[in-house]
Amino acid sequence: MIYEIHCYVPKTGQLTPAMIEWLMEHGQSTNQPEFFWPVKRLKPKAIARHFLNLDNTLIPVRGPEGTVELRFPNAEIGITLFLHDRGVIIFFPYMAYSVYSRIVLGIVYTYIRFLFDLAGFWSFDPQLNVLSYADDFHSMEETSVLMDAIVPKLLNS
């Protein structure tokens, strides 16, 4: 299973469940006026440059319509950052009950914390329906426990 975490910079400084609902419903739309958007417009290439300063081993790949993908150099780790004009989506494999999953989560949470420090990004975990303004080791451990408790049940249904 590929897990994903969405990261956005809210215009108001705080991301709410109502804003997430709006993004899930209208986020793919190209005809929404700017003042309706609850999150700031971003420059994916500029964010990619910041990421490459943090981790110069990431492999940049040009995506469609000005998007950028940054791929972790070890394919077995399987982390991909998808940078678009409204946020960053971090994709990574879900591995239940393993030390390996803690390593992957540690890398992912380093990137999430970097985004928070860079521009005030908030993160949203759609699998667990968890919204956070910044993540630390405690949050990472809580997420890992929730993933191990909930996601296997989702996979079996």
Domain that holds residue 140: 2-156
For 34, other C-beta atoms within 10 Å of its C-beta total 8
Residue 125: per-residue pLDDT: 87
Residues 21-60: pLDDT tens digits?
999 999 988 899 999 999 999 999 999 999 999 999 999 9
Residues 64-111: pLDDT tens digits?
999 999 999 998 889 999 999 999 999 998 776 666 777 888 899 899
Residue 47 sits in a domain whose CATH number is: 3.30.310
Pick from 110, 73, 105: which is nearest to 92 by CA? 105
Distance CA 21, CA 23 (A): 5
Domain count for the chain, please give it: 1
Q: Which residues contact 113 (CB under 8 A, 6 or more apart)?
A: 134, 135, 136
Residue 134: per-residue pLDDT: 60
Instruction: Identify the weakest region by mean pLDDT among 26-35, 65-74, 117-126, 132-141.
Output: 132-141
